[in-house]
A and B are shown apart, each in its own frame.
Chain A
Amino acid sequence: MTDKERKELQITATRVREGILTATHGAKSGHPGGSLSAADVFTYLYFKEMRIDPADPKKPDRDRFVLSKGHTAPGLYSTLANRGYFPVEDLPTLRHIDSYLQGHPNMNTVPGVDMSTGSLGQGLSAAAGMAKGAKFLGKDVNVYSVLGDGELAEGQIWEATMFAAHYKLDNLCIIVDLNGLQIDGRTVDVMNTAPVDEKFAAFGCDVVTVDGHDFDALEAAFDRFHKNHGGGMPTAILMKTTKGKGVSYMEDQAGWHGKAPNDEEYAQGMAELAAARAKLEEV
């Protein structure tokens, strides 16, 4: 990608992070940590990778996205809003009683959401169903699904991966956000899912491990996904990330998995992100 393109993605990802803070601050609850760790891949998917049209969110032959780790809805919503699916101004209504922005993704109320998720372990199966459906119908549709690393403890993830490999769903891209933390602490301590790469390889995926905050690395990973088309293997992109990325006091802290910033924390976080964005914009 060009320097300009990279810079634009970085600026957009920063705006997505600002939206995550604004949404969770407005909600006084929600999940900023895992939203921030996946903010770069959300941005890459919706601003570069996926064939979508925000003006026609239900376009039949669009690429699909399933947020299997549905609790990071603030990250998805902020990305969708910044992409033009709905007003960015609506983000602070997240989780409010009269808002369409449900606490976890709702495909029937939120424009751009392709599958209702939230209960961990289920999204990847639905994504595999979409990919199977696209293959069956002879449609050139790619399906992307973002999983959490804690979520890998759900057995259904492996049922779905087995299904995807068995049915040669090379149009399915499994993306794992390896931020190393979950509610109760470090994933390695709560339930060690390592070695994640060997597991996905053993289940029949082409595995690529990348820095999930490096757009060039993400581009290379998605290029590999495209090259896998016709090869009959699903792709598993394992992203090494930092939970809470971009907001200093949230970074690598399990405590920010499911807690909203108070007014003071919000102001500090927004100032940090605004400064980061200004720095990107000035060059």
Chain B
Amino acid sequence: MADVKKIATRESYGNALKELGETAKDMVVLDADLAGATKTGVFKKAFPDRHFDCGIAEANMMDVAAGLSTMGLVPFASTFAMFAAGRAYEQVRNTIGYPHLNVKIGATHGGISVGEDGASHQCCEDFALMRTIPGMTVLCPADDVEARQMVKAAYEMKGPVYMRFGRAATPVIHGEDFHFQIGKGEVLAEGGDVAVIATGIMVPEAVEAAKLLAEKGVSAMVINMATIKPLDRDLVVAAAKKCGRVVTVEEHTILGGLGEAVCGVLAEEYPVPVKRIGVNDEFGHSGPAAALLAAMGLDAAGITKTTLAFLGK
């Protein structure tokens, strides 16, 4: 995929904030000394008076965002996923989630693809943590186009939203005519043997895996599930009915994330065998993002291999 345009979704986040800031005058952006990395610095450069650096104090930042929202402002609180969902979990749960405040959390550097920084910064638990908070919307874009639309959609809805963005540059798979809608999955490829439901930067890998599977005579349906919560239950069930086998792919622990959200729906509505592809209940380690993902089976080759084994081929 060397000829494919690649952009990290954290770049998309920064650019989208700036674009939105032109018209959304009630929007403010918070960061915890990571504006260069989360790319909120792009917004800060354009609107310095609307960017509040909170220093390295993420717990305080989340609750400051809660307070700002009660004054009628729309805060985007930004830091790495590890600190947004991890360190500040209880602040998000009790002071943003419980009162259902209109705070948008922009969490960058999600997943293993953080790379060289290693396990301490590779948050693979954020979907699980965030989706258990009642009323929290949990989003993860597949590419730059979806990420930018997601930021706008998050602003336009009332209530708390958690958005996970990636550090590494990843392929752009959507055209500018794409229309993102919260709560709706997207069928990227039709197929009848297995449904591959992926999220985030695993989506382009799943699309490539479908091509490799086709070479092996397996027809794979590919779904981009950018909304982890509320999950597009209808699409999950329809995919299971059509294919009879489901594979989920996420750059997240297999515990509590997209895979188990899908399993929950199918167990209740249309049980079929499911294979969860993700981080297998282990910590990551340092290394280049692509090599780490490959080592964990989180690339097109790995998804293909696991899917074939799951199908007994």
Whether A160 contacts B98 by the Cβ 8 Å rule is no
Whether A133 contacts B73 by the Cβ 8 Å rule is yes
Q: CB-CB < 8 A to A167: which residues of B?
A: 52
Measured in the bound complex, the distance between the Cα atoms of B64 and A127 in whole Å is 7
Measured in the bound complex, the distance between the Cα atoms of B94 and A131 in whole Å is 20
Q: How close is B110's CB to chain A, nearest CB, in angstroms?
A: 24
Measured in the bound complex, the distance between the Cα atoms of B71 and A134 in whole Å is 7
Of all chain A residues, which has the CB nearest B66? A126
Q: How large is the interface on A (under 10, 10 to 19, 20 to 34, 35 or more residues)?
A: 35 or more
Q: CB-CB < 8 A to A159: which residues of B?
A: 55, 57, 59-60
Whether A126 contacts B57 by the Cβ 8 Å rule is no
Interface string of A198-231 (1 = CB under 8 A from B): 0000000000000000000000000000000000
Measured in the bound complex, the distance between the Cα atoms of B70 and A18 in whole Å is 32
Whether A116 contacts B59 by the Cβ 8 Å rule is no
Q: CB-CB < 8 A to B65: which residues of A?
A: 129
Within 8 A of A (CB), among B111-168: none
Measured in the bound complex, the distance between the Cα atoms of B60 and A5 in whole Å is 39
Measured in the bound complex, the distance between the Cα atoms of B54 and A133 in whole Å is 14
Whether A115 contacts B66 by the Cβ 8 Å rule is yes
Q: How close is A72's CB to chain B, nearest CB, in angstroms?
A: 17
Q: CB-CB < 8 A to A162: which residues of B?
A: 55, 57
Q: How close is B174's CB to chain A, nearest CB, in angstroms?
A: 35
Whether B60 contacts A125 by the Cβ 8 Å rule is yes
Measured in the bound complex, the distance between the Cα atoms of B55 and A60 in whole Å is 29
- B90 within 8 Å of A (CB atoms): yes
Whether A114 contacts B55 by the Cβ 8 Å rule is no
Of all chain B residues, which has the CB nearest A118? B94
Q: CB-CB < 8 A to A123: which residues of B?
A: 63
Measured in the bound complex, the distance between the Cα atoms of B72 and A230 in whole Å is 23
Within 8 A of B (CB), among A43-64: 60, 64
Of all chain A residues, which has the CB nearest B59? A156
* Binding site secondary structure of chain B: helix
- B68 within 8 Å of A (CB atoms): yes
- B91 within 8 Å of A (CB atoms): yes
Whether B59 contacts A129 by the Cβ 8 Å rule is no
Whether B70 contacts A115 by the Cβ 8 Å rule is yes
- A248 within 8 Å of B (CB atoms): no
Measured in the bound complex, the distance between the Cα atoms of B102 and A108 in whole Å is 13
Of all chain B residues, which has the CB nearest A121? B59
- B297 within 8 Å of A (CB atoms): no
Whether B99 contacts A115 by the Cβ 8 Å rule is yes
- A122 within 8 Å of B (CB atoms): yes
Of residues A118, A128, A129, which shows the largest number of chain B Cβ atoms within 10 Å of its Cβ?
A129
From the candidates B49, B68, B98, name the one contacting A133 in the complex (CB within 8 A).
B68
- B191 within 8 Å of A (CB atoms): no
Within 8 A of A (CB), among B53-98: 54-55, 57, 59-60, 62-73, 75, 90-91, 94-95, 98
Q: CB-CB < 8 A to A60: which residues of B?
A: 72
Q: How close is B251's CB to chain A, nearest CB, in angstroms?
A: 30
Q: How close is A169's CB to chain B, nearest CB, in angstroms?
A: 10
From the candidates A106, A130, A139, name the one contacting B70 in the complex (CB within 8 A).
A130
Whether A122 contacts B67 by the Cβ 8 Å rule is no
Q: How close is A200's CB to chain B, nearest CB, in angstroms?
A: 16
Whether B90 contacts A119 by the Cβ 8 Å rule is yes
Whether A122 contacts B71 by the Cβ 8 Å rule is no
- A97 within 8 Å of B (CB atoms): no
Q: How close is A204's CB to chain B, nearest CB, in angstroms?
A: 13
Q: How close is A188's CB to chain B, nearest CB, in angstroms?
A: 26
Whether A130 contacts B68 by the Cβ 8 Å rule is yes
Whether B72 contacts A122 by the Cβ 8 Å rule is no
Give 9 CB contacts A-B under 8 Å. Answer: A119-B94, A128-B60, A129-B70, A129-B75, A130-B71, A137-B73, A159-B55, A159-B59, A163-B64
Give the 9 A-B residue pairs with the shortest CB-CB distance, closest first.
A129-B67, A133-B71, A125-B63, A159-B60, A129-B64, A159-B57, A126-B67, A130-B67, A116-B99
> B residues near A, CB below 8 A?
28, 49-50, 52, 54-55, 57, 59-60, 62-73, 75, 90-91, 94-95, 98-100
